[in-house]
Structure 1
């Protein structure tokens, strides 16, 4: 997984450090550098590939160690002149000293940090301008040793990066293309010419067609249409693709809505690029407001299944709100920086009542108030594990995050009711130790335990997480058993260090109810667990929904089922705008 990108002298960036995660969402106004950051990662990957092709396993020459990259190789960031990659087109620095002129090259530096298996690594590359058609790439030089350069880690060499620009529509006819030609068109933003090719490749190259079956089922679930397999017409050299409406009418894919085409492009591209860092530029384009949250969660789930890292550039407030409390969000306002303060002015302004929230209230007819996106993800995971009807309701709710503030929830709810006077709502809070106000339209409930995290606090779940983390981090089954024992022992010790003995013996002990699970227990357990393994902490508070996915049905408290019943009841009483149409 890529964890940080450092950029110097590339396009609009003088110097910037950009934190990465999985997933990570870049947000900011137009022309603020979001796409440039994606292109920096793509350029780093191209440089790394060219270096490994020419120099891997060989002794690097002392003079002119760089490898040449032609601008035509930059399929993910096509430019008519190589100097367009340099900040302000500034490729040389000229200085006059004592009547003489000194010229030095200005280098683009791209440094990527990552974690592969159990090993953190850093790989830095520098780029020197040669001429309008080409430039040179080599490993970053060490500042403390003249002529010496940082090594290229093997872990970095195994990283794949794939860039997908925004959807550009769909061509009426599409000829069959080789994979290289598909990649060139994708890099140039000509996605209209490759969608059928991507789908055809999945059907043609996989004997069991598992990927295509998964895509077919997901599109059918989302849009209610039945996709036909793409077919190659040899006489014309074209690929054709059709789908069937609910009425049974068969139509060409070009007749489908842009939203369906966009989702199909995303799914086919992810399945065509497993084990890859995916750079997705505006994947929310063409998607309605209500479906954007659903697609964000879909992208996260499908990418996880394909063992991909997702790096998204987006304008969507829905994407931002969904990612803000559970994933990494980087704001491209001024210097790119991570947003991790729930009370920050940027997040606060984006969570005020806006026209899109009034629209969602009318469309859905009900609203759900929770503390944050992590709580929503935990509830959704509980519902799926239980096979509860709330799983469908929570797939794309109109959810608002109120940071455990019942007054804010009421104020926001009644503001929405000014536009839709039959709106109903449900609010769930941490234990407040006081009575909640009665409201005939907004049903409010507080957990009997300290917070929702307390329903995740079972030693069994933590041991399950320790075992699960082995599969995701160890390169093969040969090393799994030893690492499994090591991680399980580390987790057992961490749990024993922080849980009283009486609570370890009794899962119903009051300690499990009254402890503030996230801050006083889980945060400390995972900090010590990863410290014992010698790794950076990979599970913080915003990621605790991962634990909910590991909960077995018989581990989930009956109160959780009661809350899910209340959510289903509230959603069932809603009167959406399109009801009866």
Structure 2
């Protein structure tokens, strides 16, 4: 598990060491540095998948580097990722952009690339050997962007992505095919089993967790014969499958359920040494659903996963606090970072969640808009 992320000259950060827990919430105003934390980890994965996460050894013409634009992430060119007030390195022709992390066993890993303003592959200056077993590089990695799949009549059926790799796609585009393939698998993790699931299959538990977001909903994923696509359908006030009420296309149901489905499936794939990176899991959900999404994230951590979550929702925060109070997750397994701008630099304030769910402090600007609005209404 990653205990600390270290960044130098990367986007919002001149220099930062950011502690990570089994569940880490990244909060704060827009453009304050939250996304940079997730993007740093995704950049490592993207470069690893493209086989560029190595430095030149002097024996070959191959040159590794940070791959800024690829399947998971599009960051632009070097000038888009270099911090404006960058740390200068003596005796080097250009600044170094560094991403590294420390794992729970105390080992440090790091990669530093030379800045090149117009390039989208920044050549590595120093590089650790890639620790293939670590969560950011292994098969149990999921990253879901804020702009996830929307309701549609069909979704792609890629055996390589959804089944061979077990990857849901950065937009969750392979979620429906993953669900179709694994629907009848037995749900093994006790921590992730929903107490009201109607059976023991993966689909049963997906449905049960989705019903936390929309009571009475059920779903079905099926291939469309003759083409490389799969179909998702919803039913209401019935059980999963043929006993359900009349099936409805996602386009006739609304954004919330389809937008949330990749998050639910990603969390239910959780296991030891897996890493799940989530952007705005609360999008298009009712406040109750946002709070229950936090309960699911706590369950995923209890199953052995590490989650790093960017959120603007006080309901997600409060859902995590409730999970701590209910002993679903230890307070020590949570971290909450509040990001705010100080000139060109990002500042991080870290309130701690206590065992009873209370917070150690409430810095100005930290989910205080409700109180601010109420104060004005009562004035």
TM-score (norm 1): 0.49
Of 112, 136, 143, the match for 2:123: 136
If you compute each CA radius of gyration, which structure gives the higher value, 1 or 2? 1
Q: In the aligned structure 2, how far is the partner of 1:352 from the partner of 1:158?
A: 35
Shift in Å at residue 4 of structure 1?
0.9
Structure 2 partner of 1:329: 336
Q: Contact 2:6–2:100 (CA<8 Å) still a contact in 1?
A: yes
CA distance 1:123–1:32, change in 2 (3 Å)? same
Q: 1:213 aligns to what?
A: 204
Task: Output the TM-score relative to the length of structure 2.
Answer: 0.72
Q: Is the 8 A contact 1:266 1:283 kept in 2?
A: yes
Q: 1:178 to 1:13 in 2, by over 3 A?
A: farther
The answer for unaligned runs of 5 or more in structure 2 is 188-199, 239-244, 325-330, 342-346, 354-358
Mapping of 1:209-248 within 5 angstroms?
210-220=201-211, 222-246=213-237, 248=245
Q: Separation in 1 of the partners of 2:360 and 2:142?
A: 34
- The aligned residue for residue 254 of structure 1 is 251
Deviation at 1:301, TM superposition (A): 0.6
Q: Provide the C-alpha distance between the structure 2 equivalents of 1:272 and 1:124, rounded to a whole number of angstroms.
A: 28
Which structure shows the higher strand fraction? 2
Name structure 1 gaps, 5 residues minimum: 96-101, 141-149, 359-417, 419-581
**Residues 9, 98 of structure 2: 8 Å contact kept:** yes
The answer to whether the 8 A contact 1:27-1:320 is kept is no
Task: Look up the SS of the partner of 1:239 in the other structure.
Answer: strand
SS at match of 1:84: helix
Classify 1:183/1:228 alpha carbon distance in 2 versus 1 (closer, same or farther; 3 Å).
Answer: closer
Q: CA deviation at 1:196?
A: 2.2
How many Å separate the matches in 1 of 2:209 and 2:121? 43
The alpha-carbon distance between structure 1 residues 89 and 46, as it changes in their structure 2 partners (threshold 3 A), is: farther
Task: Give the whole-Å Cα distance in 2 for the aligned partners of 1:165 and 1:19.
Answer: 22
2:156 corresponds to 1:175: yes
Is the 8 Å Cα contact of residues 230 and 240 (structure 1) preserved in structure 2?
Answer: yes
- Residue of structure 1 in register with 2:192 after alignment: none
Once residues 176 and 36 of structure 2 are traced to their aligned partners in structure 1, the CA distance between those partners, rounded to angstroms, is: 28
Cα RMSD (Å): 4.1
Pair 1:278-2:295 in alignment: no
Q: Is the 8 A contact 2:28 2:366 kept in 1?
A: no
Bigger relative CO (Cα 8 Å, ≥ 6 apart)? 2
Larger helix share, 1 or 2 = 1
Q: Report what 1:84 is aligned to.
A: 80
Which digits, 9 at most, give the CA deviation of each residue in 1:143-193, with x for residues without a partner? Answer: xxxxxxx66557647854432112352233323235449999943xx44x4
2:352 corresponds, among 340, 353, 357, to 340
- Does residue 109 of structure 2 align to residue 113 of structure 1? no
1:82/1:350 CA distance change after superposition, 3 Å: closer
Distance 1:11 1:179, change over 3 A: farther
Cα distance change on mapping 1:4 and 1:68 into 2, 3 Å: closer
Offset of residue 277 of structure 1? 1.3
CA distance in 2, matches of 1:316, 1:278: 18
- Mapped to 2, the partners of 1:89 and 1:346 lie a distance apart of 26
Q: How many matched pairs?
A: 332
Structure 2 Cα separation of the partners of residues 287 and 54 of structure 1: 41
**Partner Cα separation in structure 2 for residue 296 and residue 22 of structure 1:** 13
Residues 1:104 and 2:101 aligned together: no
Check conservation: 1:92, 1:104, Cα contact below 8 A.
Answer: no
